[in-house]
Amino acid sequence: MARIIGGVTTSHIPAIANAMTQGLEQEPYWKRFFDGYEPVKEWLTKVDPDVAIVVYNDHGLNFFLNQIPTFAIGCADRYENADEGWGLKTLASFDGDAELSWHIAESLVNQNFDMTMCQEVLVDHGFITPMALMWRHFPKWPVKAIPLVVNTVQHPLPTAKRCYQLGQALGKAIESYPEDLKVVIFGTGGMSHQLQGERAGIINVDFDLLCIEKFIDDPEWLTHLSNDEIMQQAGTEGIETIMWLVMRGALQPKAKLIHKHYHVPISNTGAGVVVLENMEKQ
Amino acid sequence: MTWKKHEYDDIPGTYVFDGRRSHQGYALNKMAFSFNRQENREEFSRDKAAYCRKYALTDEQTAAVLAADFLSLLRQGGNIYYLAKMTTYYGLSIQDAGASFQGISTQEFKAKLVEAGEGFEEKMQKLGGYWGG
DSSP secondary structure, B18-57, as one string: -HHHHHHTHHHHHHHHHTTSHHHHHHHHH-HHHHHHHTT-
Shortest alpha-carbon distance between residue A175 and chain B (Å): 30
Reported residue count of chain A is: 282
Contact B14 A196 (CB under 8 A): yes
- A65 CA to chain B: closest CA distance, Å? 8
In whole angstroms, what is the distance from residue B70 CA to residue B62 CA?
Answer: 12
Number of domains in chain A: 1
Please choose, from the candidates A57, A49, A14, the residue with its C-alpha nearest in 3D space to the C-alpha of residue A138: A49
**Predicted ipTM > 0.95:** yes
Dihedral of alpha carbons A269, A270, A271, A272, sign: negative
**CB proximity list for B60: less than 8 A, separation 6 or greater:** B72, B76
Task: Please tell me the distance from the alpha carbon of residue A207 to that of residue A32, in angstroms, as a whole number.
Answer: 21
Which of A12, A59, A137, A193 is catalytic? The answer is: A193
Q: What is the pLDDT of residues A252-275, one digit of tens each?
A: 999 999 999 999 999 999 999 999
Judge whether A63 lies within some domain: yes
Strands of A182-188's sheet in order across: A116-118, A71-74, A144-150, A51-56, A182-188, A3-10, A269-277, A256-266
| pLDDT lower than 70: segments of chain A | 282
A244 lies in which domain range?
3-277
Give the integer Cα–Cα distance in Å for A13 and B84. 12
% of chain B residues with pLDDT over 70: 99
**pTM higher than 0.95, yes or no?**
yes
Q: At how many degrees (to 10) do helices A125-135 and A38-47 cross? A: 80
Residue A188 lies in a domain: yes
- In angstroms, what separates the C-alpha of B50 from chain A's closest C-alpha? 20
Which domain CATH number covers A224?
Answer: 3.40.830.10
Does residue A186 lie within any of the structural domains?
A: yes
- A282 domain-assigned: no
Decide if A103 is catalytic.
Answer: no
Q: Do B71 and A198 touch (CB under 8 A)?
A: yes
Mind listing the pLDDT tens digit for each residue in B29-85?
Answer: 999 999 999 999 999 999 999 999 999 999 999 999 999 999 999 999 999 999 999
Q: Under an 8 A CB cutoff, do B98 and A195 touch?
A: yes
